[in-house]
Structure 1
Amino acid sequence: MNTEMLITLSILAGSAALFASGKIRSDMVAIMALILLVVLDILNPAEALSGFANSVVIMMIGLFIVGGGIFHTGLARQVSGRLLKLAGQNETKLLVTVMLASSFIGAFVSNTGTVAVMLPIVVSLAMSAGVSPGRLLMPLAFASSLGGTLTLIGTPPNMVIRETLMKAGVTELTFFSFTPVGTVALIAGTVLIIVLSKFLLPKSSIDKEGGKKRRSLQELAQQYSLSDNLYRVQAKMNCALIGKSLKELSLTSQYGIHISEVRRKSSHKNPFFKTLNGEVAGPDTIIEENDILYVKGFFQQVESFANDCGLELMGQHAAEREQLPTEGFASAEVGIAEVLIPPNSKHINQLVKHSGFREQYNLNILGIQRRGEYLLHELKEERMRSGDALLVQGAWKSIAKLSQEHADVVVVGQPEEAEASVPLSHKAPIAAVIMIAMVVLMIADIFPAVISVMIAAVLMVATGCLRNMEEAYKTVNWESIVLIGGMIPMSIAVEKTGAAALISDKLVLSLGSFGPLALLAGVYFATSFVTLFISNTASAVLFAPIALGAALQLGVNPVPYLFAVTLAASICFAVPFSTPPNALVMSAGRYTFMDYVRIGLPAQVLLGIIMVLVLPLFFPF
């Protein structure tokens, strides 16, 4: 092993360790690895930057924009909603329909985007059918990944192996080259996941009333213990707060309390209409005489606040009164909803006070659920993390506005009152035509695939499916783009230093004597194992040249080996953080790490065995 190879493998091992730890963003790890390869003279600058000019990277940017047009026009929501309405209230039928609908959408857009669109729809349907959402959400995530195996654009690993085979002069894969074997993976995976889910997922369910808005709000309030430490105070005459805005008062920093809502009597002249109107407490809320403030905090803090400001502490502790748990947090005008922070959200590592939820959406963050723990105090100084579930409160129309932001947040279980028409819904037919035209161009092979995707991306903006280029850029997951652009040079270094040939030699020496099928199994499960710790795209980039070299050295057709790489990289279910969809449904489904191991691990292993046996039937050695 020469020095350059040793350095390259050391950088690769260090990168894999950092990917697995999750302490440093994956795109930063890829860039650091790229810089080291140049500084240590493994790659020249042109080789190091070649990844960002690679057609796979350009195609992915275009596909993100096309997917953004599909989401922003509501096309994906319309398609999935109509498909899921066919399922009725039978749990098995609902489960099959959820998986098939998400896999269909996942064949054309990113699996993360698919889950972001489907998740609130599935939660709503589960509630109305009296089924626990946890029975459906993990299968939803797995099916979105299976859908990616159906087409060339379904998942980045498919584009990686296409590029590898083209450069080697072996063959050029078309748009539907993946469909036959992907269909087998989808059918086998669906059957396995349904069977395993039936026996291994929690069987808790809710009654039919549980699907109604009021019950779901109560459940949210109880889960987050909203009524704990909730008090009411009233601003009587001569109260020091009257006429002042909450922004002027700085109550959180001074007393450590949080005002969630202000209620005041309506000014209607008819005495029969003396009702209390609620208003979400925002920085510009001005306190008026006789206002009732709902205050969240410890009793000593609230008492001190009331005494200092001349407020009257009303009645007993809110939890001790006969009331709904949502009193002070939800009404006809105001609601609460749970919001998930997806992987790669701009809010990750942001302090709650810097997140802009209150300024941009007029929403308060009442609590954070993080891996089974509930954070309810001193939230302003808390940093948000991937997979966090936030409980937000605000006007139903504000919650509806937030629900359109699929890139950075996902609103779960959106109540009917919060539903609003998508502003660009009239453009949905245009988005559908553009997507179909893109697929036709790729099938007809009139232009290179990357050009067809770029044409579709430009048309999404030109026709108004995306309002402008700024909105188009926001749809791109730049972390993924930089990750792929940074890892392609790593693949070049692995080949250039002879590391790929060395690993291929080891595979052939250890498994080649047992025949091409044993080597295929080795390639598949090695890729599958590595994907548990690093992204599926990075796994495909690293193993594609190794699989190609091993197949050529053994003198067999390399195509099934490259397909083994993309399938193994895409079908990763055993841990919650191996793929963004797995992580995205974890909080919403109330899953533990072991839930993924119990269901995902056997599904991943059994599906791997099936695919190893099936691949030679489609692509003979």
Structure 2
Amino acid sequence: MNIDIVITLSVLVLASVLFISGKVRSDMVAIGALIALMLFGILTPTEALSGFSSTVVIMMAGLFVVGGGIFQTGLAKLISGKLLQLAGTSETRLLIVIMLATGFMGTFISNTGTIAVMMPIVVSMAMSAGVNPARLLMPLAFASSMGGALTLIGTPPNLVIQDVLVAGGFEGLRFFSFTPIGLLALAVGIICMLFLRRWLPRQEDGLTQRSEARSTKAIAAEYRLGQNLYRVQVNADSPLCSKRLKELRLSERYHVNIIEVRRRMSMKNQFFKTIPQEVATSETELQEGDILYVHGAFEDVKVLAEDCGLMLLDHQAAEAALTTGDIGIAEVLLAPSSTLIHKRVAESGFREKFRLNILGIRRKDEVILHHLKDERMRYGDAMLVQGAWKDIALLAEETDVVVVGQPAEEARKVTLDHKAPIAAGIMLLMVGLLIIDVIPAVASVMICAVLMVLFGCLRSMEDAYKTMNWESIVLIGGMLPVSIAIEKTGAAGLLSNGLVDMLGSFGPHVMLAGIYALTSLLTLFISNTACAVLVAPIALASAVELGVSPYAFLFAVAIGASMCFAVPFSTPPNALVMSAGRYAFMDFVKVGLPLQVIVAVVMITVLPLFFPF
């Protein structure tokens, strides 16, 4: 074994360990591997940077923009909402319709984006039907991954094996090459989930047929708002009179948050007749007689009242005071691509940009209620926000924030923007161009991405850039040249020869099973894209070594990389629903592991039938 192979495999192993550990961002790992291979002279600078000009990377960027246009015009919510109306209140029908609808959306849109659109609707439907959302959110995540196997553009691993096949001199795949396999996987998934759902969490205590139960009281109880919400009244001699909240910096001085102001309509009136509740913003000016709703620890609120001439009206206010027809509370999640991850709450801009107050953070089983302004937000955090419904709706339009805790009535309000028909036309144009295959697929996608911006489905190019998951793009761009190093140094041949020596004597069927098993195992620990990039060249070389058609082997890589259900952090959809569904790690093992094994057995059996050796 020469030194170049040792260096390449060492970099590959180290990258895999870092991917598995999760202590370093995956895009940084990819760039680090790229730099190492370039410094050791394995790759030239041109070869090292070739991944960023790859059709896979460019096509992914275009698909993010097209998907963003579909989301922002309301088209995706309209389509999914109409389909979900077919389900009624039966849990079985809900599960089937949700998985079918999600699988269909995943055909054209990234699985993370599909979850972002479907999750609020699924929570709403579950509450209306009196079903624990945890019974439906895990099937939702699994279906989004299965939907990615329906078309060429459904998920990055599909594009990766297309690139490997073309680079190896084989005929490329067509738009619907994956469809038969994807439909079978989706059918198997739905049937299996009908049996495996017995392991999903059952009905929660206190869950009723009324959707309002979780939308107000249940959510407030989960975050223990009643233990941290107090009312104080501004006295005439208070130094806070005629001062704006931004001037007072009360949160910094007393570690409390003024979330709402109620004001007399007339000083002659002996009763407090409130105007629609006013959410406290940095521009709110306090006046004599104002009643302030203060969120924080009792001792901190008491010190605030004593120092600032405020009358403490009671020791605990009702959670219901936080919601009216105009103002409410909602639970939100941060998507994997969110720019808010690792930012302090004080730097998030929730109050300044959206006029919303963050009342609490739920991190796994811990609820954080105090000193929130200094807390750094993490991927997977669930946050409780309060404000006007119209401002919560504005927050829901953000591409990196998923609103999951609105009342069912609000979650079902699907607004169809006047640009939605245009977005639908562009989406159909893209699909048509990809089907007829008269121009390169990457050109078809880029044309439609530009049309989304030109026709106003995205407000600006800045919005188009915000739709992109740059971590995924950099990850793929950085890891694709690693396959060049594997081929260039002979490492692919060495690994494929090892597989052939170990399994080749048992025939291509056993080799296929080995490649699928290797891919399925790796994707438990590293992203499906990185897994496909690493294994696809080895699968191709193994097929060539055996003298058989490589298509079944490459499809095994793409399907095995995408069908990962056994752990919660293996895919973004799994991670997103884990917090919303309040799943434990073992919930995924009990339901996802059997499903992953069953799908693997079915795929290993049928792939040679669709793509003969």
TM-score category, normalised to shorter length: over 0.9
Residue of structure 1 equivalent to 2:42: 42
Residue of structure 2 equivalent to 1:599: 591
Residue of structure 2 equivalent to 1:76: 76
The alignment of Structure 1 onto Structure 2 pairs a total of residues equal to 613
Specify the code of the residue in structure 2 equivalent to 1:613. Answer: T
Task: Assess if the C-alpha contact under 8 Å between 2:335 and 2:400 holds in 1.
Answer: yes
Specify the code of the residue in structure 1 equivalent to 2:113. Answer: G
Task: Assess if the C-alpha contact under 8 Å between 2:259 and 2:294 holds in 1.
Answer: yes
Cα distance in 1 between the residues matched to 2:386 and 2:245:
17
Task: Assess if the C-alpha contact under 8 Å between 1:337 and 1:412 holds in 2.
Answer: yes
Task: Assess if the C-alpha contact under 8 Å between 1:265 and 1:277 holds in 2.
Answer: no
Displacement after TM superposition at 1:170 (Å): 2.3
Residues 130-177 of structure 1 deviation map (CA, whole Å, 9 limit, x = unaligned): 000000001000000000000001011111111111122222210001
Residues 412-470 of structure 1 deviation map (CA, whole Å, 9 limit, x = unaligned): 13236656977871111111111111111111111011111111111111121112222
Specify the code of the residue in structure 1 equivalent to 2:494. Answer: L
Residue of structure 2 equivalent to 1:225: 224
Task: Assess if the C-alpha contact under 8 Å between 1:135 and 1:201 holds in 2.
Answer: yes
Displacement after TM superposition at 1:332 (Å): 2.9
Residue of structure 2 equivalent to 1:196: 196
Residue of structure 1 equivalent to 2:457: 465
Q: Is the aligned partner of 1:447 residue 2:439?
A: yes
Cα distance in 1 between the residues matched to 2:450 and 2:247:
47
Displacement after TM superposition at 1:316 (Å): 3.2
Deviates more, 1:166-175 or 1:219-228: 166-175
Task: Assess if the C-alpha contact under 8 Å between 1:404 and 1:422 holds in 2.
Answer: no
Residue of structure 1 equivalent to 2:379: 386
Cα distance in 2 between the residues matched to 1:480 and 1:506:
31
SS state of the match for residue 294, structure 2?
strand
Residue 327 of structure 2, aligned match among 326, 334, 339? 334
Residue of structure 2 equivalent to 1:396: 389
- Residues 41 and 614 of structure 1: CA distance in aligned 2, closer, same or farther (over 3 Å): same
Residue 501 of structure 1, aligned match among 493, 497, 500? 493
Displacement after TM superposition at 1:299 (Å): 2.5
Deviates more, 1:574-583 or 1:209-218: 209-218
Residue 411 of structure 1, aligned match among 403, 406, 423? 403
Aligned residues: CA RMSD? 1.8
Deviates more, 1:207-216 or 1:584-593: 207-216
Cα distance in 2 between the residues matched to 1:157 and 1:215:
38
Residue of structure 2 equivalent to 1:278: 277
SS state of the match for residue 365, structure 1?
strand
SS state of the match for residue 320, structure 2?
coil
- What does 1:472-621 correspond to in 2, within 5 Å? 472-621=464-613
SS state of the match for residue 596, structure 1?
helix
Displacement after TM superposition at 1:370 (Å): 0.9
Displacement after TM superposition at 1:276 (Å): 5.8
**Runs of 5+ consecutive residues of structure 2 not aligned to the other structure:** none
Cα distance in 1 between the residues matched to 2:348 and 2:326:
24
Deviates more, 1:605-614 or 1:226-235: 226-235
Task: Assess if the C-alpha contact under 8 Å between 1:424 and 1:465 holds in 2.
Answer: no
Specify the code of the residue in structure 1 equivalent to 2:406. Answer: Q
Residue of structure 2 equivalent to 1:140: 140
Displacement after TM superposition at 1:205 (Å): 4.7
Displacement after TM superposition at 1:564 (Å): 0.1
SS state of the match for residue 374, structure 1?
strand
Residue 351 of structure 1, aligned match among 344, 352, 360? 344
Residues 248-275 of structure 1 deviation map (CA, whole Å, 9 limit, x = unaligned): 1122222222222222223498889934
Q: Is the aligned partner of 1:186 residue 2:179?
A: no
Task: Assess if the C-alpha contact under 8 Å between 2:229 and 2:295 holds in 1.
Answer: yes
Task: Assess if the C-alpha contact under 8 Å between 1:226 and 1:326 holds in 2.
Answer: no
Residue of structure 1 equivalent to 2:173: 173
Task: Assess if the C-alpha contact under 8 Å between 1:63 and 1:453 holds in 2.
Answer: yes
Residue of structure 2 equivalent to 1:364: 357
Residue of structure 2 equivalent to 1:245: 244
TM-score by length of 2: 0.97
Displacement after TM superposition at 1:245 (Å): 1.4
Task: Assess if the C-alpha contact under 8 Å between 2:214 and 2:407 holds in 1.
Answer: no
Specify the code of the residue in structure 1 equivalent to 2:453. Answer: V
Residues 19-58 of structure 1 deviation map (CA, whole Å, 9 limit, x = unaligned): 2222222111111111111111110000001001111111
Task: Assess if the C-alpha contact under 8 Å between 2:215 and 2:408 holds in 1.
Answer: no
Cα distance in 1 between the residues matched to 2:590 and 2:367:
25
**Runs of 5+ consecutive residues of structure 1 not aligned to the other structure:** none
Deviates more, 1:468-477 or 1:262-271: 262-271
Residue of structure 2 equivalent to 1:211: 210
SS state of the match for residue 330, structure 2?
strand
SS state of the match for residue 287, structure 1?
coil
Cα distance in 2 between the residues matched to 1:530 and 1:277:
55
Task: Assess if the C-alpha contact under 8 Å between 1:149 and 1:567 holds in 2.
Answer: yes
Displacement after TM superposition at 1:504 (Å): 0.7
